[in-house]
Amino acid sequence: QVQLVESGGGVVQPGRSLRLSCAASGFTFSSYGMHWVRQAPGKGLEWVAVIWYDGNNKYYTDSVKGRFTISRDNSKNTLYLQMNSLRVEDTAVYYCARGVGADEHIDYWGQGTLVTVSS
Amino acid sequence: QSALTQPASVSGSPGQSITISCTGTRSDVGGYYFVSWYQQLPGKAPKLMIYDVSNRPSGVSNRFSGSKSGNTASLTISGLLAEDEANYYCCSYTTSSTLVFGGGTKLTVL
């Protein structure tokens, strides 16, 4: 069965960096686009970024452009999110998710990892 | 990349039907038949309920249905059950090749 397991969350000071990882199993990772979606405490879902199956196309929400970088290693079945210049408003649970279909809609989600940006 | 507009809350009694709306623009909901809906129970990851406006993944009850008219998509849940109480989010593909979510709707089963 599809499994997505995030790691790398924690508490970090504003302006610092953090890298999230997502280990995928149960499907052919290199055939699927992958997303990061976040959810601030008590708030709704916010789409963050997507990377196509081959890593050749990446798209971001405006609020993280220039600060976050999505990447993948298909040989390791792993998705990454490098987060630089973190802000208090980046505090959220970050979900790794699989994309499918022409629109890369999300069909499977990980359980999430909490990132807290605080001084 | 403004969030899609959903009502903050809806409610219904067991056995009734409810509909949750999701309003966007021609750049997202109105431009494609690429709207999906997710159910999120407290403390859990979201679950896909509807994709491509009206398609149900395997295993999702046929009490859940979706539709779209113009810039507004809708999720209808018929024969409400207590277990349907959750937050529901719509999501659309956009002209920028990104996804955008709605603000979420809390469904209360009375």
What are A28-83's pLDDT values in tens digits?
Answer: 999 999 999 999 999 999 999 999 999 999 999 999 999 999 999 999 999 999 99
Question: Do residues B66 and B19 touch, judged by C-beta distance below 8 A?
Answer: no
Query: What pLDDT shows up at residue A102?
Result: 87
Residue (of B44, B91, B84) closest to B66 by Cα position: B91
Express each pLDDT in B9-58 by its tens digit: 999 999 999 999 999 999 999 999 999 999 999 999 999 999 999 999 99
**A112 reaches B (C-beta below 8 A):** yes
**A66 reaches B (C-beta below 8 A):** no
Inter-chain touch A47–B99, beta carbons under 8 Å: yes
Inter-chain touch A45–B34, beta carbons under 8 Å: no
Residue B97 with chain A: CB contacts under 8 Å: 50, 57, 59
Longest dimension (CA), chain A: 42
Comparing CB atoms, the residue among B1, B48, B103 nearest residue A107 is B48
Mean pLDDT of A78-89: 98
Is the predicted pLDDT of residue A91 greater than 90, yes or no? Answer: yes
Measured CA to CA, the distance from residue B27 to residue A33 in angstroms comes to 22
Distance of residue A15 Cα from the nearest chain B Cα, in angstroms: 24
Query: What pLDDT shows up at residue B1?
Result: 73
pLDDT category at B2 given cuts 50, 70, 90 is: confident
Query: What pLDDT shows up at residue A92?
Result: 98
Query: What pLDDT shows up at residue A103?
Result: 87
Q: Which two tokens stand for residue A74?
A: 């298909």
**A93 reaches B (C-beta below 8 A):** no
Express each pLDDT in B51-97 by its tens digit: 999 999 999 999 999 999 999 999 999 999 999 999 999 999 999 99
Query: What pLDDT shows up at residue B15?
Result: 97
Distance of residue A17 Cα from the nearest chain B Cα, in angstroms: 24
Question: Do residues B57 and B65 touch, judged by C-beta distance below 8 A?
Answer: no
Residue (of A33, A22, A28) closest to A57 by Cα position: A33
Q: How far is CA B16 from CA A57, B41, B101, B107, in A?
A: 44, 20, 26, 13
Measured CA to CA, the distance from residue B36 to residue B27 in angstroms comes to 16
Q: Where are the alpha helices (DSSP H) in chain A?
A: none
Query: What pLDDT shows up at residue B31?
Result: 93
Inter-chain touch B102–A110, beta carbons under 8 Å: no
Inter-chain touch B3–A44, beta carbons under 8 Å: yes
Measured CA to CA, the distance from residue B108 to residue B83 in angstroms comes to 10
Counting one residue from A and one from B, how many pairs have CB atoms under 8 Å apart?
71
pLDDT category at B3 given cuts 50, 70, 90 is: very high
In chain A, % of residues over pLDDT 90: 97
